[in-house]
Amino acid sequence: MIRVAIVDDDRKDIQQLQAYLEQYRRESGEAMDITVFTDGDEIAEGYRPRFDLILMDVEMRFLDGMSAAREIRKTDPEVVIIFITNMAQYAIQGYEVVALDYVLKPVSYFAFSQRLGRAITRMKRRGARYLTIPVKGGARKLEASQIYYVESRDHELTFHTAVGDFNATLTMREAERSLSGLPFFRGNNSYLINLEHVDGVLDGCAVVRGASLKLSRPRKNAFLEALSDYMGEVLK
């Protein structure tokens, strides 16, 4: 299921994009869930990462598309953004917010389907797993492979990642469920460790990006076995 947001303040343009998405869905078989916003401020205010693709008009009454995209990028570096505009110079500005592409108005179905196909191909090639965690003041979308380990402390979790540390009001069990099927393993009651980032095991601790994480006696052998299995799969 591809989650698509249309952000446009012109009703006719919204209807056209909806019709094009429906036509593309029929032709490609791609399942889509479509949400419509009628101005940039509607999607940007309190934005939480939940879309795979945003079709964004540039010129809107209350908040223009470029400003809305800047706000979105603060919490969602991965969502694919395609600008819909009648002015080609906005395409250059799109690089500032890592926009994938732009489509000039009036929008033809051929041009739109080409850009949409490119966006979907990019999403599938990326193949990364993400999870969204509740943080103070909103939410944060994290790529699972960038998480070094999850630490439980004082009734909240800290996600230690390549892009910083983030505190979340989740339980360890909820984190484990969100990361199921990925190479994460409990070292003890306090740590959920990404085996991808384990540099070694020394003195009863897993060494993860310079941090020594204590392995409990009951879990140590199972952890070492899981690490060995993971390394074997990686080296195949």
Burial of 68 (0-12, 13-18, 19+ CB in 10 A): buried
The model's confidence at residue 126, banded by pLDDT at 50, 70 and 90, is low
Parallel/antiparallel/unpaired status of strands 2-7 and 53-57: parallel
- Picking from 2-11, 67-76, 94-103, 183-192, which range would have the lowest pLDDT averaged per residue? 94-103
Q: What does the pLDDT read at residue 11?
A: 95
pLDDT exceeds cutoff 60 at 194: yes
| DSSP, residue by residue, 128-184 | --EEEEEETTEEEEEEGGGEEEEEEETTEEEEEETTEEEEE---HHHHHHHTTTSSE
Which of 42-46, 49-53, 116-120 tops mean pLDDT? 42-46
Instruction: Spell out the residues 6+ positions from residue 43 whose beta carbon is closer than 8 angstroms to its own.
Output: 5, 7, 37, 54, 68, 72
Q: What does the pLDDT read at residue 100?
A: 62
- The count of C-alpha atoms lying within 13 angstroms of the C-alpha of 134, restricted to the half-sphere facing its C-beta, is 5
Q: b/e map of 12-31 (b: 16 or more CB within 10 Å)?
A: ebbebbeebbeebeeeeeee
**Helix (H) or strand (E) run with residue 125 in it:** helix 109-126
The model's confidence at residue 72, banded by pLDDT at 50, 70 and 90, is very high
Beginning with the edge strand found earlier in the chain, give each strand of the sheet holding 184-188 in spatial order. Answer: 164-168, 156-161, 147-153, 191-194, 184-188
∠ CA 180-156-197, rounded to 5°: 45
Average of per-residue pLDDT values in the chain: 87
State the CB neighbour count (10 A cutoff) for residue 78.
16
What share of the chain has pLDDT > 70, as a percent?
90
- Cα separations in angstroms, 35 against 4, 13, 47, 51, 215: 6, 14, 13, 9, 45
At the topology level of CATH, where does 2-126 sit? Rossmann fold (3.40.50)
Domains of the chain, residue spans: 2-126, 130-235
Q: What does the pLDDT read at residue 235?
A: 38
pLDDT exceeds cutoff 90 at 150: yes
- Picking from 66-80, 147-161, 182-196, 211-225, which range would have the lowest pLDDT averaged per residue? 66-80
pLDDT exceeds cutoff 60 at 231: yes
Domains 2-126 and 130-235 share a fold: no
Parallel/antiparallel/unpaired status of strands 205-208 and 184-188: unpaired
Q: What does the pLDDT read at residue 102?
A: 79
138, amino acid identity: G
CATH 2.40.50.1020 fits 130-235, yes or no: yes
